[in-house]
Amino acid sequence: MRANRGIDLAGATVLVTGASTGIGEAVARHAARAGAKVALAARRADRLEALAGELGGSAHPVDLADPAQLDGFVARVEAVAGPIDVLVNNAGLETSGLIEQADEARIAELVAVNLVAPQRLVRQVLPGMLARRRGHLVAMSSLAGVAAVPGASVYSSTKAGLSHFMACVTRDLVGTPVGTTLVEPGPVVSEMWERFSADPSLAAALGRAAKLQLLRPTTIDIVAAATVRAVADGRRHVRLPRRLTAQYALENAPRRLTDLTMVGLRPRR
């Protein structure tokens, strides 16, 4: 498939979910520095409002695990912030542990936030982007969606689903001016990684990877900066650390083969 068109972020409206902390907050900061108007979404209203005031953006408190709050969410944001040029589906929850020990309510919450909410938000924002012939979709997935390790079945399966969803959406958008970027970082120094890596069911696998020097944690700022650059440059993928390029390539091989078999196919007429 052809490369995306990049988005000039100066004056663009960028909606970032999970923007009250971590990668989402850092993406919002980098986007604002590039001249974007940021619309910030997360559950923590106080932190959102403080960050929105600092960046000159708008705050949109929402619990993405609540289907009712997702109803018409994009329309409510656009009524305040204007048409959304870039959607960054960053919000995510983590859990770890063996599947037989998993809490079923927590499973449902992870699926809702990590997979269903991004699909619904893309569904809501895409008609306007296509009508305006301008837009970009970003999904913050994970290396966990590529690598199957013990103790991460619930989290990893939601991220694998998100990555495949974005691959399909990218194919849906062939021939349109709307671009996509899938971000698949490995471990990122954060509170989430500390909780995740502390689980004993993951200890052996993570220890083996560390000995092989495969999992060298990166920083929130590096991931956020790379994400914003990818939107501006029209890059379809951000994959960190780069030393795992071969693993990413193997995981993506069936999708690339499908791309080759569908050269010239235009899903929209």
For residue 143, the model assigns a pLDDT of: 86
Q: What is the pLDDT of residues 204-223, one digit of tens each?
A: 555 555 555 556 678 999 99
Kindly state whether residue 8 falls inside one of the protein's structural domains.
Answer: no
Q: What is the pLDDT of residues 100-109, one digit of tens each?
A: 988 999 999 9
Q: Which long-range contacts (CB under 8 A, 24 or more apart) does 162-169 make?
A: 162/89, 162/114, 162/115, 162/118, 163/139, 164/255, 165/115, 165/118, 165/119, 165/139, 166/137, 166/139, 166/141, 167/255, 169/122, 169/137
Kindly state whether residue 223 falls inside one of the protein's structural domains.
Answer: yes
Q: What is the pTM of this model?
A: 0.87
Strand pairing partners for 39?
15, 58
Range of the domain at 203: 13-261
Is the separation of the CB atoms in 136 and 180 below 8 Å?
yes
The number of angstroms, rounded, from the C-alpha of 196 to the middle of its chain's C-alpha atoms is 18
* Summary mean pLDDT of the chain: 87
What type of residue sits at position 59?
A
Q: What is the pLDDT of residues 60-87, one digit of tens each?
A: 999 999 999 999 999 999 999 999 999 9
Kindly state whether residue 213 falls inside one of the protein's structural domains.
Answer: yes
% of the chain surpassing 70 pLDDT: 79
Kindly state whether residue 224 falls inside one of the protein's structural domains.
Answer: yes
Q: What is the pLDDT of residues 122-181, one digit of tens each?
A: 999 999 999 999 999 999 999 888 877 777 899 999 999 999 999 999 999 999 999 999
Cite the DSSP H helix spans in 115-244. 117-132, 153-172, 191-197, 200-211, 220-233
Kindly state whether residue 143 falls inside one of the protein's structural domains.
Answer: yes
Kindly state whether residue 132 falls inside one of the protein's structural domains.
Answer: yes
Q: Quick one: DSSP state of residue 18?
A: S
Beta-carbon contacts of residue 48 (< 8 Å; ≥ 6 apart): 19, 20, 40, 41, 42, 59, 60, 61
Is the separation of the CB atoms in 181 and 4 below 8 Å?
yes
Helices 45-55 and 22-33, interaxial angle, to 10°? 20
For residue 96, the model assigns a pLDDT of: 74
For residue 74, the model assigns a pLDDT of: 98
What type of residue sits at position 218?
T
Beta-carbon contacts of residue 2 (< 8 Å; ≥ 6 apart): none
Kindly state whether residue 268 falls inside one of the protein's structural domains.
Answer: no
For residue 256, the model assigns a pLDDT of: 65
Greater model confidence, 97 or 70: 70
Query: Is residue 225 predicted with pLDDT exceeding 80?
Result: yes
Residues in the chain: 269
Kindly state whether residue 155 falls inside one of the protein's structural domains.
Answer: yes
- CATH number for the domain spanning 150: value is 3.40.50.720
Mean pLDDT calculated for residue range 187-206: 61
Residues marked active site are found at 141, 155, 159
CA distances from 118 to 112, 166, 199 (A): 9, 10, 27
Query: Is residue 50 predicted with pLDDT exceeding 70?
Result: yes
The number of angstroms, rounded, from the C-alpha of 72 to the middle of its chain's C-alpha atoms is 20
**What is the tally of structural domains in the chain?**
1
Beta-carbon contacts of residue 225 (< 8 Å; ≥ 6 apart): 26, 30
Greater model confidence, 266 or 51: 51
% of the chain surpassing 90 pLDDT: 67
Query: Is residue 247 predicted with pLDDT exceeding 70?
Result: no
